[in-house]
């Protein structure tokens, strides 16, 4: 992954994280800093995944990055919610 594509992935991760916070209304299980961080990680992983799949068109790479970031945010949010629910049921 080149420096330009890494920078683009970081920028896309921030935008994806911000859009994720705007799309889902109400109180969420994870904070906005963790959402942005997961968006960044997901975008970078999505960039590497797209590179491994020989996808070189920018908008297709962006779609892969968004999907990976969304899955990552959803997975972490689900894990945090289920952990909190288990703690509440024990008390």
Q: pLDDT digits over 1-36, tens only? A: 678 877 877 787 778 777 777 776 667 777 878 888
- Yes or no: say if 66 and 46 are a contact pair by the CB < 8 Å rule: yes
Q: Strand, helix or coil at 62?
A: helix
Q: What pLDDT, on a 0 to 100 scale, did the predictor assign at position 31?
A: 80
Q: pLDDT digits over 30-60, tens only? A: 787 888 888 888 888 998 999 999 998 988 9
For the chain, domain boundaries: 3-90
Is the pLDDT at 89 greater than 80, yes or no?
no
Token pair 């960044």 is found at: 40
Rg of the chain on CA atoms, in Å: 15
Tell me how far apart the alpha carbons of residues 26 and 21 are, in angstroms, rounded to a whole number.
9
Nearest alpha-carbon partner for 82 in 33, 38, 29: 29
Q: Strand, helix or coil at 87?
A: helix
């Amino acid at each position: 992954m080149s420096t330009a594509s890494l920078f683009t992935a970081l920028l896309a991760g921030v935008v994806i994280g911000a859009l994720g916070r705007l799309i889902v209304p109400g109180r969420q299980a994870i904070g906005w800093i963790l959402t942005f961080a997961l968006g960044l990680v997901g975008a970078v992983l999505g960039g590497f995944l797209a590179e491994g799949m020989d996808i070189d068109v920018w908008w297709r790479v962006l779609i892969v990055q968004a999907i990976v970031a969304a899955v990552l945010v959803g997975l972490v949010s689900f894990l945090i919610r289920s952990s909190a629910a288990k703690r509440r049921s024990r008390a």
